[in-house]
Structure 1
């Protein structure tokens, strides 16, 4: 069973990583800052993970979508880097707005996803 779940994680990640790249590219192509693309993928990923968690699906679906897709689609490390860059450049308002938006919208998105499937 562990081997099957590992394949599910890999398959989900193979979809999530390019989806993240394309989403961030699309958002920044519309004139948004790179941090706007990161915000979008993290909030959408939180919503999808909320849907999965609320539905309490089988282990293979958790591995495929929850761990694989959402793990590769969302990005904490990029958020941390973008916050660090804004801190270094003393863009305090950008740091505060990014943190507030990420946490507020992320929690709202995961709650909504959970509520829709629980």
Structure 2
């Protein structure tokens, strides 16, 4: 009899890792939004910090995964897809940007949009670069 490997959709260990990580990441994001609230239409500092920190950590994680000979198979699903996927929030970023624009803060909306994209891209690059440099020194 030929054994067919389970597809990712039927790998319960992967699904549970993603679910557990997602719950933790979402709770952390909610905690940060409660700690740093913003009035409707104002600059959403908590969302910007959440996404920038999440991008930095995604860069670190990707550097670790690509420079480790045999990373644990549940590391990326748990941390990358689960924790960091649940922590970062593109939908809230878009909603905050649109909210600022529709409440008459067009310049603030554009500033938030540009700052988010630039900061998050820089954060991923910084995380990758710094982690690879540290790992090379070892």
Q: 2-side partners of 1:108 and 1:49: how far apart?
A: 12
For 1:77, the equivalent position in structure 2 comes to 91
CA separation of 1:61 and 1:97: change in aligned 2, threshold 3 A: same
More helix as a share of residues: 1
CA shift digits 1:12-71 (9 cap, x unpaired): 112111100111111228xxx571111011001101111111111443111011000011
- TM-score by length of structure 2 reads 0.76
The answer on 1:97 being equivalent to 2:97 is: no
Task: Say which one has the larger Rg.
Answer: 2
Query: Which runs of at least 4 in structure 1 moved beyond 4 Å after TM superposition?
Result: none
Q: 2-side partners of 1:109 and 1:78: how far apart?
A: 19
CA separation of 1:91 and 1:36: change in aligned 2, threshold 3 A: same
Q: 2-side partners of 1:43 and 1:103: how far apart?
A: 9
Q: 1-side partners of 2:98 and 2:118: how far apart?
A: 20
Shift of 1:110: 0.6
Q: 1-side partners of 2:116 and 2:43: how far apart?
A: 14
Q: What stretches of structure 1 of length at least 5 have no aligned partner? A: none
Aligned length: 115
* Partner secondary structure for residue 37 of structure 2: helix
Equivalent residue in structure 1 for 2:49, among 26, 40, 43? 40
- TM-score by length of structure 1 reads 0.88
8 Å Cα contact 1:24-1:34 kept in structure 2: no
Provide the aligned C-alpha RMSD in A.
Answer: 1.7
